[in-house]
Amino acid sequence: MAFFHKIRTALPVLLALLFSASVGAEELQYNMREGVTEISQGVYDLHMLVTWICVGIGVVVFGAMFYAMFAHRRSKNPEPAKFSHNTLVEVVWTAIPFLILVVLAVPAVRLLVAMEDTSESEVTVQITGYQWKWHYKYLDQDIEFFSNLATPRSEIEHYEGEGKPSDPNYLLDVDNRVVLPVGKKIRFLITADDVLHAWWIPDFAVKKDAIPGFINEAWTKVDEPGIYRGQCAELCGKDHGFMPIVVEVVSEEDFDAWIQSKYDEQAEAERLAAEAASKSWSKEDLMSQGEQAYNTYCAACHKVDGTGTPPVFPGMIDSPITTGPVEAHISIVVNGKAGTAMQAFGAQLTDAELAAIITYERNAWGIDTGDLVQPADIAAFKAGN
Amino acid sequence: MSAVIEEHHDHHDHKPTGLTRWLFTTNHKDIGTLYLWFSFAMFVIGGLFAMVIRLELFQPGLQFVEPEFFNQMTTLHGLVMVFGAVMPATVGLANWMIPIMIGAPDMALPRMNNWSFWILPFAFTLLLSSLFMEGGAPNFGWTFYAPLSTTFGPPSTDFFIFGVHLMGISSIMGSINVIVTVFNMRAPGMTLMKMPMFVWTWLITAFLLIMVMPVLAGAVTMMLTDRHFGTSFFDAAGGGDPVMFQHIFWFFGHPEVYIMILPAFGIASQIIPTFSRKPLFGYASMVYATAAIALLSFVVWAHHMFTVGMPLAGELFFMFATLLIAVPTGVKVFNWVATMWKGSITFETPMLYALAFVILFTIGGFSGVMLAMTPVDFQYHDTYFVVAHFHYVLFPGAIFGTMAAVYYWLPKWTGNLYNERWAKIQFWLQIFFVNLTFFPMHFSGLAGMPRRIPDYNLAFADFNMISSIGAFGLALTQIIFIAVVIGCIRGKRKATAQVWEGAQGLEWTLPSPAPYHSFTTPPKVD
């Protein structure tokens, strides 16, 4: 094993030399993460065990092969042997791989049983995948929020050839982090609203598919406070690569404080929403609020210039929705369209935001219907919905 | 090809000329040739899609294509390579070689043979035309998981569905032909256990195809009715289950993996004895191992879906069954090594490809064992580690197997020797670039890069740049490959009937090129 250990220490150095041109100060990640939980450590150990067993088998088999290529080449061995079978050898090399597999299977079973045991959890978080964001709901604390990609589009898109991304957390940053207490067993209930997604944090060795209409369970217990990043791991459409996951693990006091701050935030948001909903907005306010909200929630599909990607993501200009009756427009934004990526935004956004977006969509890009939609209109629609 | 054929009027071969010859042909050699050219054309198209993918992934940030189009490229790359390049290539080899390896005058059902080829250009026209449709081509990955492919799929999905139906019909007819030919048309004295290994592996492949292609057809039909006729097979809101789609798909999809690789096993088992000048070690155990792999391939499908939330018992069963496949696969690899042992080995291009196949396929097999371990698979699943794994079994596996076969039998097909020097240059360049492309994917996957993403965090930048450079080089080596093949077709240096000193089997008793009609009276095998 000392030999393997040498390789293990030499390999990163070699690789680092190889790639030092562009890596800079960052350490190059080329192997699985050991992670920060007992389970992830177990997974890592098993991964290394099976890797070294494969390397060992490879050395023996390829070694024999290269030896034959060298020693039994025609110039050295002009007269080939005639044998074509040997029962004993064949039985032996059927039995040995079988035994190796048994050796691998035992720790795998033990680890798998531990991974699937979600009992006795202390905190439960329901995770819902949407195209293309995550929604988190703390069932015991009654807190919920959406978590969107925080990397701006301008940082991502370089079609004109200018600049390149430089943020170390590029594509792995969100607006609202999941916050979890350290040292407690957390149960995740994972589902989806539209298509399949998968929730994955490499440092926890947790990856579970989010399936619309079904709820999957997973769990973790993190012993080290810190910020852990992951991504959606099941193709879910256009922006599959742009729905990261960020988990912040904090001490129990900080977790309680965070819960309290979320309560305050929610109360404040409700107060602001009520205030916004009761007031009548000017067209300028609606348009400027609408532009901002549209670019955040709608532009990923319908594009900043409203052209969309028809027919999957329809354009706004000349659309019967934006130029037709206001009622139908409110309905599709609030209720979504079943079987498409158009989500029901009624529960995701405030009435003021919805009103601003709809007003913006009916007056931007030269559409100019002149219609103003007020938060009260949205509330009235929802009441009759 | 016509230039080659015209030179051999001395065989009294009656055949139509021009386009009708190819359209109406019922000759197994013509149909084999058509399949092989079609396969190469698809290999080029699928390769161009891969170039778009690797270009976008060359560095972080979106530089060339939009995510929507990127997804169309990954989807079409997979579909075209699996159904257009790899499968037709092995069917082409089967058509050309099975009759002349078993001493039959032609395939048993020649008209059906014509039809099973000519369906394919229509199937792929349907599929590829979707690129020019409003809403673009299918964008849900070659595995087309519901509901992304059903209610959320673009309008062109229906073209994809009918394209897959046609490919399935073509494959089923091709396999019926192989089975009937092998069972009924072997030369007197050629018992099943005397058949060349390539024929054996293809016979087993044909059974796999007949078993699973209808399952794929069922899956796409359910998709079609979910999309248009109000059913809810894959929609929980109507009482269905999106996970059921995955079970059905992978019940097809896992045997499909062996459909692509078993013929390559057969090819390696022909070539390694020839250039080791020694009979294949453990012929009987090779046959049993191939059959065991095929049987096991029906009970391992859910290892593709460990993360869907199966019960513990299910996860354990599929882990054990999958690990078990390593045993017969190991037997095959050991047999190849033992065939070389104490042989008298030379290293012509087919042998180089066969050896590269054994080594690199085995590396793909190692990562397969790693992926079979359920708890660790949770980390590997849907990352570039998986991409590395299946490209190792497909490119240096199935495709190197096919290239080995092409170099091995090209003199028999054309009557000319190919340029050994350029063939070897092509081999070494290709071996370098194939590893440069796919080996770093193991690292980017382990480091945490999910597959099917058009853009990535800076931590994955180095490995992606290396993979992209490798992929561009790999594409360029194909130009040398086709130049060597065309050079051989037009070649001046005649091949003997035997071609390779150590080659055994009926195909080498025929003159080179093999006459248009061969074994019209069956040979005797003792």
Residue B2 predicted with pLDDT over 80: no
Report which DSSP code applies to B22: H
Q: How many other β-carbons are positioned within 10 Å of the β-carbon of residue A162? A: 7
CB B430 within 8 A of CB B503: no
Confidence label for A349 from pLDDT (cuts 50, 70 and 90)? confident
Q: Give the pLDDT confidence score for residue B19 in this predicted structure.
A: 87
Verify whether residue B517 is a known catalytic residue: no
Q: How many other β-carbons are positioned within 10 Å of the β-carbon of residue B19? A: 8
Chain A: nearest CA to B137, how far in angstroms?
A: 11
Confidence label for B12 from pLDDT (cuts 50, 70 and 90)? low
Taking contacts as CB-CB distances below 8 angstroms, the residues of chain B near A220 are none
- Helix (H) / strand (E) containing A87: helix A87-115
Residue in B165, B186, B254, B391 annotated catalytic: B254
Q: Give the pLDDT confidence score for residue B9 in this predicted structure.
A: 45
Chain A: nearest CA to B211, how far in angstroms?
A: 28
Closest by CA to B102, choosing from B389, B419, B523, is B523
Q: Give the pLDDT confidence score for residue B14 in this predicted structure.
A: 67
| pLDDT, mean of residues A269-285 | 82
Q: Give the pLDDT confidence score for residue A60 in this predicted structure.
A: 96
Chain B: nearest CA to A13, how far in angstroms?
A: 15
Prior bond to A97 cis, omega within 30? no
Query: HSE (CB half, 13 Å, CA atoms) of B231?
Result: 14
pLDDT tens-digit map of B402-439: 999 999 999 999 999 999 999 999 999 999 999 999 99
Sign of the torsion formed by the C-alpha atoms of B359, B365, B369 and B370? positive
Environment class of A297 (CB within 10 Å of its CB; exposed 0-12, middle 13-18, buried 19+)? buried
Establish, for the pair of chains A and B, how many residue pairs have beta carbons separated by less than 8 Å: 307
What percent of chain A has pLDDT above 70?
Answer: 93
Dist. CA B135–CA A314, nearest whole Å = 10
SS3 B66: coil
Output B499 or A288, whichever has higher pLDDT: B499
pLDDT tens-digit map of B227-268: 999 999 999 989 999 999 999 999 999 999 999 999 999 999
| pLDDT, mean of residues B100-104 | 96
Verify whether residue B129 is a known catalytic residue: no
A68·B67 Cβ contact <8 A: no
Closest by CA to B163, choosing from B126, B131, B117, is B126
Residue B391 predicted with pLDDT over 90: yes
A108·B139 Cβ contact <8 A: no
**Of A12-21, A221-230, B41-50, B298-307, the least confident:** A12-21
Dist. CA A58–CA A100, nearest whole Å = 14
Chain A: nearest CA to B440, how far in angstroms?
A: 9
Strands (E), B351-394: none
Dist. CA B389–CA B438, nearest whole Å = 8
B312·A98 Cβ contact <8 A: no
Q: Give the pLDDT confidence score for residue A5 in this predicted structure.
A: 52
B363·A58 Cβ contact <8 A: yes
Verify whether residue B269 is a known catalytic residue: yes
| pLDDT, mean of residues B507-513 | 94
What percent of chain B has pLDDT above 90?
Answer: 94
pLDDT tens-digit map of B156-190: 999 999 999 999 999 999 999 999 999 999 999 99
Q: Give the pLDDT confidence score for residue A312 in this predicted structure.
A: 76
A233·B383 Cβ contact <8 A: yes
Q: What contacts 24+ positions apart, CB below 8 Å, involve B68-71?
A: B68/A238, B68/A309, B68/A312, B68/B136, B68/B139, B69/B136, B70/B454, B71/A235, B71/A237, B71/A238, B71/A240, B71/B139, B71/B140, B71/B141, B71/B452, B71/B454
Name the phi and psi angles at B252, rounded to 5: -75, -45
DSSP per-residue letters across A195-259: S-EEEEEGGGTEEEEE-BT--EEEEE---S-EEEEEEE-S--STTGGG-EEEEEEE-HHHHHHHH
CB B99 within 8 A of CB B522: no
B383 interfaces chain A, CB cutoff of 8 Å:
yes
Taking contacts as CB-CB distances below 8 angstroms, the residues of chain B near A73 are 344-347
B355 interfaces chain A, CB cutoff of 8 Å:
yes
Helical residues (DSSP H) of A127-191, grouped into ranges: 153-156
Closest by CA to B14, choosing from B23, B104, B5, is B5
The overall average pLDDT reported for chain A is: 88
CB B386 within 8 A of CB B306: no
Confidence label for A379 from pLDDT (cuts 50, 70 and 90)? confident
Environment class of B190 (CB within 10 Å of its CB; exposed 0-12, middle 13-18, buried 19+)? buried
Chain A: nearest CA to B520, how far in angstroms?
A: 33
Residue A385 predicted with pLDDT over 80: no
* Sheet architecture: strand order including A186-192: A143-147, A133-138, A123-130, A186-192, A216-220
Kindly state the tokens that stand for A328: 């139908």
Verify whether residue B256 is a known catalytic residue: yes
What percent of chain A has pLDDT above 90?
Answer: 55
B288 interfaces chain A, CB cutoff of 8 Å:
no
Verify whether residue B247 is a known catalytic residue: no
Dist. CA B371–CA B317, nearest whole Å = 14
Confidence label for A23 from pLDDT (cuts 50, 70 and 90)? very low
Dist. CA B320–CA B54, nearest whole Å = 36
Chain A: nearest CA to B272, how far in angstroms?
A: 11
Selected residues 19-38 of chain B with any CB under 8 Å from a CB in chain A: none
Q: Give the pLDDT confidence score for residue A306 in this predicted structure.
A: 87
Taking contacts as CB-CB distances below 8 angstroms, the residues of chain A near B152 are 194-195, 237, 339-341
Q: Give the pLDDT confidence score for residue A278 in this predicted structure.
A: 78
Dist. CA B151–CA B161, nearest whole Å = 14
Closest by CA to B262, choosing from B476, B93, B442, B37, is B93
Closest by CA to A202, choosing from A12, A39, A48, A40, is A40
Q: What contacts 24+ positions apart, CB below 8 Å, involve A134-140?
A: A134/A174, A134/A197, A134/A199, A134/A243, A134/A245, A135/A193, A136/A176, A136/A178, A138/A259, A139/A189
Letter for the amino acid at B209? L
Dist. CA B522–CA B519, nearest whole Å = 5
Confidence label for A1 from pLDDT (cuts 50, 70 and 90)? very low
Closest by CA to A316, choosing from A365, A359, A244, is A365
Taking contacts as CB-CB distances below 8 angstroms, the residues of chain B near A64 are 337, 341
Dist. CA A99–CA B327, nearest whole Å = 10
Residue A11 predicted with pLDDT over 60: no
Residue with tokens 């037997």: B331
Sign of the torsion formed by the C-alpha atoms of A77, A82, A85 and A86? negative
| pLDDT, mean of residues B32-54 | 97
- Helix (H) / strand (E) containing B405: helix B400-414
Dist. CA B442–CA B453, nearest whole Å = 16
The overall average pLDDT reported for chain B is: 94
Residues near B198 by beta carbon (within 8 Å), at least 6 away in sequence: B93, B97, B98, B101, B263, B266, B267, B269, B270
* Terminal Cα-to-Cα distance of chain A (whole angstroms): 69
| pLDDT, mean of residues A148-152 | 91
Q: Give the pLDDT confidence score for residue A235 in this predicted structure.
A: 97
Residue with tokens 């395939």: B107
CA-to-CA separations, A60 to A54, A66, A92, A146, B330, in angstroms, rounded:
10, 10, 15, 53, 13
| pLDDT, mean of residues B361-382 | 96
Residue A22 predicted with pLDDT over 50: no
Verify whether residue B14 is a known catalytic residue: no
Environment class of B236 (CB within 10 Å of its CB; exposed 0-12, middle 13-18, buried 19+)? middle
The residue of A15, A20, A28, A29 whose CB has the most chain B CBs within 10 angstroms, and thus the best one to mutate to test that interface, is: A29
DSSP per-residue letters across B229-295: S---TT-GGGT--HHHHHHHHHHHHHHHHHHHHHHHHHHHHHHHHHHHTSPPTTHHHHHHHHHHHHH
A84·B374 Cβ contact <8 A: no
CB B481 within 8 A of CB B403: yes
Q: How many other β-carbons are positioned within 10 Å of the β-carbon of residue A96? A: 14
pTM: 0.91
Nearest to B145 among A165, A196, A339 (CB): A196
- Helix (H) / strand (E) containing A191: strand A186-192
CB B87 within 8 A of CB B56: no
A80·B375 Cβ contact <8 A: no
Helical residues (DSSP H) of B8-109, grouped into ranges: 18-24, 28-56, 67-79, 87-102
B230 interfaces chain A, CB cutoff of 8 Å:
no
pLDDT tens-digit map of B286-315: 999 999 999 999 999 999 999 999 999 999
The residue of B68, B304, B337 whose CB has the most chain A CBs within 10 angstroms, and thus the best one to mutate to test that interface, is: B337
Closest by CA to A282, choosing from A174, A225, A359, is A359
Kindly state the tokens that stand for A228: 């852990």
Length of chain A counted residue by residue:
385
